[in-house]
Amino acid sequence: MFLNLINDRRSIRKFKDKPVEKEKINTLIEAALRSPSSRSINPLKFIVIDDKILLEKLSKAKPHGAGFLKEAALGILVCGDASKSDVWIEDASIASVFIHLAAHDLGLGSCWIQIRKRDYNDSKTAETYIKELLNLTQDTILVESIIAIGYPDETKKGHAKDSLQFHKVSFNT
């Protein structure tokens, strides 16, 4: 089942105007909380946003690659506490992927929006914009990504096996 999931999952940027049921949101949260964490420190925080006004404001967090969030039913901010773990970025990335896979398994579409190391404009980072918008005042809580989620309004085939970059794999050297 896992191999079918990763064969079929694609990033979805067009969503139907349909809310995601509470049970499915709870399953997504559980998937995020079940993601592996280095040394079981679990430095992550998740903020689930389903308010359309906030989603639209968050869609402006960076000039490119976030606009589709305003059409999503929800966004999940994946944050880490840098004071608790030196590998919070890796933990947050793994949790983001768990959210993607769970969303696909639930019949939902999703797309990663990179926030860390991205700019809102010439004088402000995307992360600063988001922290101000959501009143996240703790300096050690950092935003890795937002996962846009909703019912897909586009269909994409999985990547063909012959399109995979097998030339980037080596064995024993």
User: Over the stretch 103-156, which tens digit does the pLDDT of each residue have?
Assistant: 999 999 999 999 999 999 999 999 999 999 999 999 999 999 999 999 999 999
Please give the mean pLDDT across all residues of the chain.
97
Mean pLDDT of 8-36: 97
Give per-residue pLDDT as tens, 57-79.
999 999 999 999 999 999 999 99
Mean pLDDT of 76-98: 97
Looking from the CA of 149 toward its CB, the CA atoms found within 13 Å total 32
Position 49 scores a pLDDT of 98
Q: Identify any residues that bridge with 148 across adjacent strands, giving them in sequence order.
A: 75, 111
For the chain, list the domains and their CATH numbers: 13-153 (3.40.109.10)
